Amino acid sequence: MQNMIKTALLIGCSAFIALPAFAETTISFRYNDPDPEVIEAAIEAFEAENPDINVELERISWGDSRTQFLREAAVGTGPDIVHIAFVWPLEMGSAGALLPLNDLIEKNGAGSGFDNFIATDLARDADGNIFGLPWTADTWTLIYTPAVLQEAGVDVPKTWDELQAASRMVTEKTGKVGFGFPAGSGATNTAWFLLNYHLWSNGHALVEEDGSGGFQVGVDTASLANSFKFFADFMGEGGNPQSNIALGGLADIGSLAPMVEGDQAFALVPPNVAKAVIAAYKEKSGSDDVPFASTGIPTGSVGGVSHMGGRMLGINANTEHADESYKFIQFLISNEFFSDFLTAQFPASKSALAALEYPAGLEGYGMQLPNARTWGAYANGKTPIGTMWSEAGREFGAILVGDKTPEEAAQSLIDTINDMLNS
Amino acid sequence: MLSYSKDQRKFVLLMLLPAFGMTAAFFLWPTIYNIKNSFTDLSLLGLRDGGRWIGLDNYIELFNDSDFKKVVFNTLFWLTFVSVSIRLVLGFAIALFIESQLVRRLRLTVPLRMAALLPWATPDIVAVTVWKQIFDGRTGAINNKLVEWGFIDQPIVFLGDPSYVWPSVITIIVWNGLPIIVLTMAAALQTVPRDLYEAADIDGANSWIKFWHVTFPHALPALAVLGLLTTIWTFNNFIYVWMSTSAGPGTFSNVLATEVYLQAFVNFKLGLSSAIGTFMAALALVFGIIYFRYVVTKRFGGLM
């Protein structure tokens, strides 16, 4: 009897001691892009390698993700790991929503080193706190349909002015869409990107560093008005159908349908949209031949500049499982993850981008990425990008419906930015 | 007149206490919290620290902003007055038709009531998405037909051309919101005593006189309550405008509810957004008081 009790106690104690080794830690990862099955497969692989960590996948739309996470983090909740835009880590870090990753990076490393990531200026604040790890990279570039260009007798445009002339010519000669873009004025309008690319390509910027640690507006009213007018002139006979004024963004139904149908010459899009256009064309035609090509952003007086966009990964400041969360992030930023799972996106590391081979139709991204700049001063000052983005779209919309002249809209946007800088 | 003992009153109060508690917790406290925030510079990025007290600055900013006057006008006139008026008039007319002798004789009353219910069963977001496709300037069904029949040469950008934006948004609202008016008014019309119509017939009254002196007075109480409810539901509505136009083009169709969203979740100014919310609540309160005192109680008090 005594032996039985001793044996039972021994087993009990062993089980108690062994329990922590088998205890599962559950962490949550909120992923916002539209291909969750890829992440689910990756999570399965991660859990197989790390049986003590269970990862729960959460989903939310990009449109709601920033405000939802800020609300949750403020009251001590939210997912352990968040999928965030390049320009969010600093504002979320300053709001106390994201955990500084410095200690975790120092202890565990970060891929091939933190400096091997692109856009590190958007992840590290002035005090050296790192609030996110760049995960995927993208920029926008010009895709076009060579057959439509041939039909209209125009060459691939190299400058913004050539793009405008070619777009007009395509519509005049073929009745097809020239340079088609969503011209709606919602909070996540497309005009924001076009406007900035045009400004940057001509040596201007809405916000720039003032040389003494502060920030200032980097464009005068006339130049900004000129950029507004440049894109407004595309509407109608300029090659962008008037109906596009009702399209809120590239995700709107019908936004790129003419491209897929071979009825549009040019579009400025990020790689995931270009891939979606190619995939939609292949599905519709049943052909594997891609009738699209891509090239760099049209140039202005200082070149063709686009933004270095992408996603970062951050850890919620409220997490109780920082180590496990970071372990999962290390898995997500690994080369294996991009070669085995997330093959549709580009990794945000300099060495991986340099070694990347771009598939047919997407060559332009390889040409454009070296000419892409980060939002830099836009994200580091007192000017929330979301507010400027929304205001730029509203002002552009006001021009399109005749509420304001380009000059009035430009002055209004500059005043708004100055108000934010001086607040 | 009934009289209650002290114990009975205490018992009633005790029974009502949970309801009062719930109301205070879910309505009163958020209202007070929102009013408090409206006097601060609270930002979505500063939720942990809270906002700084800035007195009436948010309200001064609002009332000095000429764009805000346009937003108030859009909300009161287009979104609320026009869309509610159309729904009440059209809804009442359809209810009259459904409950008419002709439809009864054809045994179509029930099928028509079911048909009227269909838009109500469609979620707002689905309705707006489908209507956006119908209104689409390139492939929309309306434009296709108008071009095909030769009424227009070029498609109309219904949700992008200022001349058509509000009529288009109101069409969506009316389509989606009409059923509650139709069904409620149809139910109200069924309560009109038949013998009044018989008496009117004996007196030689024509259809118009029967409508004006029998049907309409009996339908008015229901119409009055619907008017109040529909006005408040519409006045506060965010979905229709945001989903269909994102408050654009420019700020052309911006209304108070979308302005609340823009200030709070695009510009991150929760304090300013709270001030707009408080202003909206005050407007709705004033409307409710006036409506009840002068329209409902005084005019139809005897019937309610």
Q: Which residue of A has its CA nearest to B244?
A: A246
Contact B162 A67 (CB under 8 A): no
Q: At B301, is the pLDDT very low, low, confident or very high (cuts 50, 70, 90)?
A: low
All residues of chain B having their beta carbon less than 8 Å from the beta carbon of residue A257 are 138-139
A201-238 pLDDT, tens digit each: 999 999 999 999 899 999 999 999 999 999 999 999 99
**A242 shares contact with chain B (CB less than 8 Å):** yes
Percent of chain A at pLDDT exceeding 70:
94
**φ, ψ of residue A211 in degrees (nearest 5):** 90, -10
Test the B interface: residue of A243, A255, A260 with most B CBs within 10 Å: A243
Q: What is the DSSP letter of A120?
A: G
**A251 shares contact with chain B (CB less than 8 Å):** no
CATH number of the CATH domain containing B87 = 1.10.3720.10
- Cβ contacts of A414 within 8 Å, gap of 6 or more: A217, A219, A221, A224
Assigned token pair, A351: 């060495």
What is the model's pLDDT at position A173? 97
Q: At A115, is the pLDDT very low, low, confident or very high (cuts 50, 70, 90)?
A: very high
Q: Which residues pair with B269 in a beta bridge?
A: B43
**B144 shares contact with chain A (CB less than 8 Å):** no
All residues of chain A having their beta carbon less than 8 Å from the beta carbon of residue B135 are 246
End-to-end CA distance of chain A: 80
As a whole number of angstroms, the distance between CA B260 and CA B236 comes to 10
Q: Name the residue among B47, B158, B246 with its Cβ closest to that of A248.
A: B246
Assigned token pair, B193: 């005593």
Q: Name the residue among B47, B250, B265 with its Cβ closest to that of A397.
A: B250
All residues of chain B having their beta carbon less than 8 Å from the beta carbon of residue A187 are 246, 262, 266
Q: Between β-strands A205-209 and A215-218, what pairing exists: parallel, antiparallel or unpaired?
A: antiparallel
Q: What is the DSSP letter of B149?
A: T
What is the model's pLDDT at position A249? 86
- The answer to whether residue B1 is domain-embedded is no
Question: How far does the CA of residue A17 sit from the closest CA of chain B (Å)?
Answer: 40
As a whole number of angstroms, the distance between CA A266 and CA A140 comes to 13
**A316 shares contact with chain B (CB less than 8 Å):** no
What is the model's pLDDT at position B66? 87
Q: At A24, is the pLDDT very low, low, confident or very high (cuts 50, 70, 90)?
A: confident
Q: At A294, is the pLDDT very low, low, confident or very high (cuts 50, 70, 90)?
A: very high
- Cβ contacts of A298 within 8 Å, gap of 6 or more: A142, A157, A158, A159, A160, A162, A163, A201, A304
Q: Whole-model pTM? A: 0.87
What is the model's pLDDT at position A213? 87
**A204 shares contact with chain B (CB less than 8 Å):** no
Assigned token pair, A235: 């509407």
As a whole number of angstroms, the distance between CA A340 and CA A303 comes to 36
pLDDT at B18 over 80: yes
**Number of folded domains in chain B?**
1
Q: Name the residue among A70, A242, A390 with its Cβ closest to that of B157.
A: A242
Q: Span A73-90, mean pLDDT?
A: 95
CA separation, residue A31 to residues A59, A62, A345, B249 (Å): 5, 9, 14, 31
AA letter at B168: S
What is the model's pLDDT at position A372? 94
All residues of chain B having their beta carbon less than 8 Å from the beta carbon of residue A241 are 137-138
As a whole number of angstroms, the distance between CA B272 and CA B41 comes to 7
If you count residue pairs, one on A and one on B, with CB atoms under 8 Å apart, how many are there? 118
Percent of chain A at pLDDT exceeding 90:
76
**A176 shares contact with chain B (CB less than 8 Å):** no
B158-206 pLDDT, tens digit each: 999 999 999 999 999 999 999 999 999 999 999 999 999 999 999 999 9
As a whole number of angstroms, the distance between CA A227 and CA A196 comes to 9
As a whole number of angstroms, the distance between CA B103 and CA B109 comes to 6
**A403 shares contact with chain B (CB less than 8 Å):** yes
CA separation, residue B17 to residues B3, B7, B25, B33 (Å): 21, 15, 12, 22
What is the model's pLDDT at position A9? 57
Q: At A314, is the pLDDT very low, low, confident or very high (cuts 50, 70, 90)?
A: very high
**B44 shares contact with chain A (CB less than 8 Å):** yes
The angle subtended at Cα A84 by Cα A81 and Cα A89, nearest 5°, is: 95
What is the model's pLDDT at position A35? 83
Q: At A5, is the pLDDT very low, low, confident or very high (cuts 50, 70, 90)?
A: low
Reference B243, options A109, A287, A263, A63; nearest CA is A63
pLDDT at A15 over 60: no
Contact A403 B266 (CB under 8 A): no
Q: Domain A24-138+309-354 in CATH: superfamily?
A: Periplasmic binding protein-like II (3.40.190.10)
Domain assignment of residue B65, given as a range: 54-303
What is the model's pLDDT at position A113? 94
Query: Maximum Cα–Cα distance for chain B, whole Å?
Result: 78
CA separation, residue A403 to residues B160, B167, B224, B252 (Å): 13, 19, 38, 9
**B20 shares contact with chain A (CB less than 8 Å):** no
Assigned token pair, A228: 């507004």
Q: Quick check: helix, strand or coil at residue A367?
A: helix
pLDDT at B283 over 90: yes
Assigned token pair, A194: 């076009």
Find the helix packing angle between A322-332 and A36-49, rounded to 10°: 120
pLDDT at A37 over 90: yes
Enumerate long-range contacts of B79-86, CB under 8 Å, 24 or more apart: B79/B169, B79/B173, B79/B234, B79/B235, B79/B237, B79/B240, B79/B241, B79/B255, B80/B231, B80/B234, B80/B235, B82/B166, B82/B170, B83/B170, B83/B173, B83/B174, B83/B177, B83/B234, B84/B227, B84/B230, B84/B231, B84/B234, B86/B170, B86/B174
Q: Which residue of A has its CA nearest to B261?
A: A187
Average pLDDT across chain A, whole number: 91
Q: In A243-401, which residue ranges form alpha helices assigned H by DSSP? A: 257-260, 271-285, 322-332, 335-340, 350-354, 363-368, 377-380, 385-400
- Lowest-pLDDT range of A132-146, A350-364, B160-174: A350-364
Reference A25, options A326, A320, A334, A318; nearest CA is A320
CA separation, residue A272 to residues A312, A335, B59, B178, B237 (Å): 16, 19, 43, 41, 34
- The answer to whether residue B35 is domain-embedded is no
AA letter at A208: E
The residue that leads in pLDDT, B139 or B257, is: B257
pLDDT at B1 over 80: no
HSE on the CB side for A195, CA within 13 Å?
Answer: 32
Q: Quick check: helix, strand or coil at residue B11?
A: helix
**b/e sequence B154-182, b meaning 16+ C-beta within 10 Å:** ebbbbbbbbebbbebbbbbbbbbbbbbbb
pLDDT at A251 over 80: no
